[in-house]
Structure 1
């Protein structure tokens, strides 16, 4: 029987933090973030951790070395991630493309993937060790915009933990970056989906001009959202197998059949959440 994640204890040996820079020279310039990136509510970091089982085809290959090299190649295309966030007039955010690099830690964990239990779900033990908070690295301004820690496991698998400055990217943008790293790790020399920096299209007109009714700011009758506190929330994990996803997809109207798995799940989260 697998150990309970909350009772599992193990040691993590970390190397000194390093900066991974783009593998080739990149432009030195300033890039303005959009107006919707500036609010205080977005000036924070988001983190996640991914678990990878041992793959026999990777025998003799070090995941840390492969990922480190892939990141350096990817940053040639995603070079703003290697810069630092600055604040201008009226607290306008911009990224200075300095090629300083992203923060990276190589580590070894004295544990197997199976010991985390099945299914894998939070809370994960020693999370602060699997994504170590390097002193001085978690600020929004003048700090690395990405922090990645790769921890090898005793079983041959590894853990990939990442912390991202949220003003620089949302979820889909991060997925695109991760897909680019994966392509480079598999030997690609160019990206199938190159990044595009067009944040100016999200800026307000000067002077601002309202052209449509913004229902997203209207109050919803009977909504309890204003009364919800953390005391009312219960943490639960739900796992959807391929068969369950197929069942949900059959409930979608034919003209929306192209929806992604993420869109399918988020569309159905309302009926699953009860207060």
Structure 2
């Protein structure tokens, strides 16, 4: 039984999980991940979710078709091209991750929920309070090594809509790589025989150089002499963390921009603006020691950059291809200065990412034994997936009402597209200690000039951090 403080309750009945294998024979081989893929910080499972209304009337060819059957069959076809995703991770020498492309398959769950799309309301925004209902954890499937790399659950709704929830081993691909796989899956569901963009492996393109050499400063990783993991557990009460959605509409985003000096207003991207705003509001809410060093790390995609800056990765590359450079400040300085100070730091950090930066990250992984990203109470990692086109996945029934990561994590948040009352905006799952939620809300109110009723954080919005993810 699913239930939250929103008082919505419903039953989800699931069939026995099955393994979907490639429809045709695929090569049985071992493929190495890149040194960007093979980071300790990417050895986790990320849940992503798509919500679809019943729009079959807009496409008569899908009338009467079962989304579970259509997507299951399309999955077998797509895995012929993306056969490494049907394999299992194993460790080579020095804990190097490699994929045993053994064709064992992807876990698939068929389900039915006695609830309509409209009844779900705003619970479709992350963090999804019903994630455990729409993405069942199959016992023994949630490890990194020797487990299915993807788990998919397709849940039919009473109204004829459906929900596709997916759990991905992040070492295999990033948001852009996931989009490419899902788009192929959607193409196959609509009858295509071949993907529009064939997948490209070539993970060696992002391996460390020989000899490896660290040529940039990487604040996102801990110093070799510090125990940042202990700092986190000393500083944040992990038993009292909650998560809630922060939605900002276009008017509120303009309100935030109005706090910038004139020279920054037109020169600052939405990503830079929201990253700086979130960093400052979070730091204020945590009430940290003014001398404590705080930082925010924003993911910067290495694809599609010009040859003098970027990696020139081939079209179809679906591995991880990003870095997360850090903006760093003392907490007191960040909080006392206007927003423009934080924006300047975020812009500077983002500008550091070029081909050499990515090469330096890959080399650092080899030299220092794949350290995780810095884990301290004053560190936040943000990922803007608004440009990853996850909301463009159409299995034949139209575009999803919402798509993106289903939850944030203790020190990780995501920027996603979201629409309220027909108005476009950005939603972010925010993770904070319970004591900091109200102050965070007040700081956001100040910087957005006004806060609509939609944003008022009530007990119904709060999701306790008990998720297995």
TM-score range, shorter chain: 0.7 to 0.9
SS where residue 75 of structure 1 aligns? helix
Partner of 1:214: 217
Partner of 2:134: 130
Is 2:146 aligned against 1:142? yes
* 1:22-51 Cα deviation digits (max 9, x unpaired): 111111100001123333322111102211
TM-score normalised by L of structure 2: 0.49
State how 1:22-171 maps to structure 2 within 5 Å.
Answer: 22-55=22-55, 56=57, 57=59, 58-118=62-122, 120-171=124-175
TM-score normalised by L of structure 1: 0.81
Of 162, 179, 186, which residue of structure 2 is paired with 1:182? 186
Q: Which runs of 5+ in 1 are unaligned?
A: 220-225, 257-263
Alpha carbon RMSD of aligned pairs, Å? 2.9
Q: 1:202 to 1:122 in 2, by over 3 A?
A: closer
SS where residue 109 of structure 2 aligns? strand
Flag the structure with higher strand content. Answer: 2
Partner of 2:227: none
Q: Which runs of 5+ in 2 are unaligned?
A: 223-230, 258-264, 284-469
* 1:230-258 Cα deviation digits (max 9, x unpaired): 7898744345678999999xx766xx9xx
Partner of 2:275: 270
Q: Distance in 2 between matches of 1:61 and 1:252?
A: 48
SS where residue 31 of structure 2 aligns? strand
* 1:49-89 Cα deviation digits (max 9, x unpaired): 21100112332010011111111111111110000101111
1:129 positional shift: 2.1
Whether the 8 Å contact between 2:127 and 2:244 is mirrored in structure 1 is no
Whether the 8 Å contact between 1:109 and 1:152 is mirrored in structure 2 is yes
Q: Distance in 2 between matches of 1:40 and 1:269?
A: 27
Q: Distance in 2 between matches of 1:243 and 1:71?
A: 41
1:190 positional shift: 1.2
Whether the 8 Å contact between 1:5 and 1:117 is mirrored in structure 2 is no
Whether the 8 Å contact between 2:116 and 2:157 is mirrored in structure 1 is yes
Whether the 8 Å contact between 1:38 and 1:91 is mirrored in structure 2 is no
Q: Distance in 2 between matches of 1:92 and 1:126?
A: 35
Q: Distance in 1 between matches of 2:199 and 2:4?
A: 41
Question: Which range moved further: 67-76 or 114-123?
Answer: 114-123
Q: Distance in 1 between matches of 2:80 and 2:266?
A: 40
Partner of 1:260: none
